[in-house]
Amino acid sequence: MTSEDWARPVVHWDIQAKDPERIRDFYSRMFNWNIGAAPLMPVEAGVGGPPPEFFSGNILKSEHPGITLYVQVRDLRESLVRSEDLGGKVITQPIDIPNGPTLAAILDPEGNRIVLVQQ
């Protein structure tokens, strides 16, 4: 890592579940999380956590359960090349979100989904 390089922060996350109400109950009881209502169940950061405008998470319905991390990067295209060089796979090319960031999705070498976020 050079002096110009920096750690890429996780800026968002999703927990996908076939039965999101069941998963909502599990996480709210397991960690005392305050979780909003469906369809997009927002999870508050809680005491000591970052403010919600900087970091947030959701629980949502999906036929493919898992956890997706959203990681901020400076250069989306360079990050896509880097992911493939390191054994990952690009699964979604960059998409511009109106009035928002640009996103792209990759799989790590084990098949875990990661969304890259360029502000």
Q: How confident is the model at residue 97 (pLDDT cuts 50, 70, 90)?
A: very high
The rounded distance, in Å, linking the Cα atoms of 118 and 101 is 6
CATH architecture type of domain 1-62 = Roll (3.10)
- What are the structural domain ranges in the chain? 1-62, 73-119
Residue 85 in this model has a pLDDT that exceeds 90: yes
Are 119 and 72 spatial neighbours (Cβ–Cβ below 8 Å)?
yes
CATH class of 73-119: alpha beta
Distance CA 91, CA 114 (A): 10
User: Does this chain's domain 1-62 share its CATH topology with 73-119?
Assistant: yes
- Please determine, for residue 3, whether its predicted confidence score (pLDDT) is greater than 90: no
DSSP conformational letter for 31: H
Q: pLDDT per residue over 20-79, tens digit each? A: 999 999 888 877 888 998 888 888 766 555 565 555 789 999 998 999 999 999 999 999
Q: In this model, does residue 83 exceed pLDDT 90?
A: yes
- pLDDT (0 to 100) of residue 5: 74
What is the mean pLDDT of the segment spanning 86-104?
A: 94
Residue 106 and residue 91 in contact, taking contact as beta carbons nearer than 8 Å: yes
